[in-house]
Amino acid sequence: MNLDISVVIPLLNEAESLPELSAWIDRVLTQHQLSYEIVYVDDGSTDNSWEVIQQLSAQNSAIKAIKFRKNYGKSAGLSVGFAAATGNVVFTMDADLQDSPDELPEMYRMVIEDDYDLVSGWKQKRFDSFIKNNTSKIYNFVTRKMSGINLNGFNCGLKAYKNTVVKNIEVYGEMHRYLPVIANNAGFSKIGQKVVKHQARKHGESKFGSARFIRGPLDLLSIMFVGRFGKRPMHLFGLWGGILFVLGFFSAIMIGVSKLYYLNILNQSAPLVTESPYFYIALTCMMMGTQLFLAGFLAELVARNNPRRNSYGIETDIGLEEDNHFKEKYT
């Protein structure tokens, strides 16, 4: 029988916070009579986090743990945590005590009773640095506009998912920042948010790094592209390649017609075609158009050879429960 809740917690060097966090989660969920498991993912900690987790697991059988040999990043931690989670509702939260476990019961209710696929926390009042606060606001604004998902806290670590959501999305690279976008692209479009309490860090140091200024926008562009054109890349590259090629081609024709007009109609010596800047613009457009079209063609070949090219988000079926061939091919 599935548990009510799985709490997936990736961590790096958070030994001091783990005992208090585990006790806090246990107290809240036991009080609300919710069965649970905690899945810690030690992302290559260099302190004694793993020893602390082993001690906590010996005291509480609901605590499970996975240890990486080295640091792979938060997305990797969430990916293996999602694979291990068995609860009907899967939560993610940070291990630094800045996310409050007191929010779990209400977010659980929103998923179960209000039938949300995903509920994201919104840290309306934050206790982070000025740079981190304002960077998050910019990312949230841009992501909201590009994705059309009306959330204020895309990167909030505290989120609740239906189990079926985490089993049908792929998290890799630095994509953990945009899990609502990934879920929406997979067909899980009922996404809500809840204002959650944010707390100042008690122990350790922030893992915020300057690299996210570069990775964040690139990851968002990647997700938006894959979500819209992952199965049909020719629709993007072929369209713009065709437009550029046609534009360049007709521009070249116009330059040639102009040359003939000077020579045959006006009986004047025409300037050399290569002296016109429009010749080089036309040539560049034709070359770029050809390259884009070929890029789309190659991407289409790659997509067609993808073993999961016919994998679709089938929610349910009738009369095919025992058809293993159907499930292996299409799910």
CA angle at residue 47 from 41 to 49, to 5 degrees?
40
**Least confident residue range of 79-88, 102-111, 214-223, 260-269:** 214-223
> In this structure, are residues 113 and 187 in contact, taking their beta carbons and an 8 Å threshold?
no
Q: Tell which wins on pLDDT, 208 or 96.
A: 96
CATH architecture label of 5-229:
Alpha-Beta Complex (3.90)
How far apart are alpha carbons 21 and 13 in whole angstroms?
Answer: 14
Any idea which of 84-98, 146-160, 262-276 has the lowest mean pLDDT? 262-276
Question: Tens digits of per-residue pLDDT, 108-139?
Answer: 999 999 999 999 998 877 666 666 666 777 77
- Amino acid 199: pLDDT: 74
Question: What's the pLDDT at 237?
Answer: 77
Helices and strands (H and E) in the chain: how many? 11, 7
What's the whole-number mean pLDDT along residues 216-226? Answer: 64
DSSP per-residue letters across 122-152: E-SS--S-HHHHHHHHHHHHHHHHHH----S
3-state SS class at 42: strand
- Report the alpha-carbon distance of residue 69 to residue 277 in Å, rounded: 58
Angle between helices 18-31 and 49-59 (to 10 degrees): 30
Task: Decide: 17 and 202 in contact? Cβ < 8 Å.
Answer: yes
- This prediction has a pTM of 0.69
Q: Does pLDDT of 292 surpass 60?
A: yes
- pLDDT over threshold 60, residue 146: yes
pLDDT tens-digit series, residues 242-272: 888 889 888 888 888 887 777 777 777 766 7
Per-residue pLDDT for 220 more than 80? no
Is the separation of the CB atoms in 43 and 73 below 8 Å?
yes
Identify which has the larger pLDDT, 310 or 173. 173
What's the mean pLDDT in 73-93? 92
List, for residues 6-18, the tens digit of each pLDDT value.
999 999 999 999 9
pLDDT the model gives residue 151? 87
Cross-strand pairs, 34: none
Name the residue among 83, 92, 110, 73 with its Cα closest to residue 155. Answer: 92
Contact 280, 286 (CB under 8 A): no
Q: pLDDT grade, residue 198 (50/70/90)?
A: confident
Between 304 and 151, the more confident residue is 151
Burial of residue 190 (number of CB atoms within 10 Å: 0-12, 13-18, 19+):
middle
What does residue 167 show for φ and ψ, rounded to 5 degrees? -85, -10
Q: Where are the domains of the chain?
A: 5-229, 230-331
Q: For helices 104-112 and 18-31, what crossing angle results, to 10°?
A: 50
What is the rounded average pLDDT of the residues 262-290?
80
The pLDDT value recorded for residue 308 is 54
* pLDDT level of residue 141 (50, 70, 90 thresholds): confident
Q: Is the pLDDT of residue 105 over 80?
A: yes
Distance from C-alpha of 50 to C-alpha of 42, rounded to nearest angstrom: 7
Work out the average pLDDT over 193-201. Answer: 82
Strands (E), the chain: 5-11, 36-42, 63-67, 89-92, 118-122, 159-162, 191-195
Query: Alpha helix locations (H) across 148-233?
Result: 163-166, 179-185, 212-229
How far is 87 from 161, CA to CA, in rounded Å? Answer: 10
In contact, 95 and 202? CB cutoff 8 Å? no
**What does pLDDT average to over the chain?**
81
Pairing of strands 191-195, 118-122: parallel
Cα distance from N-terminal residue to C-terminal residue, the chain: 23
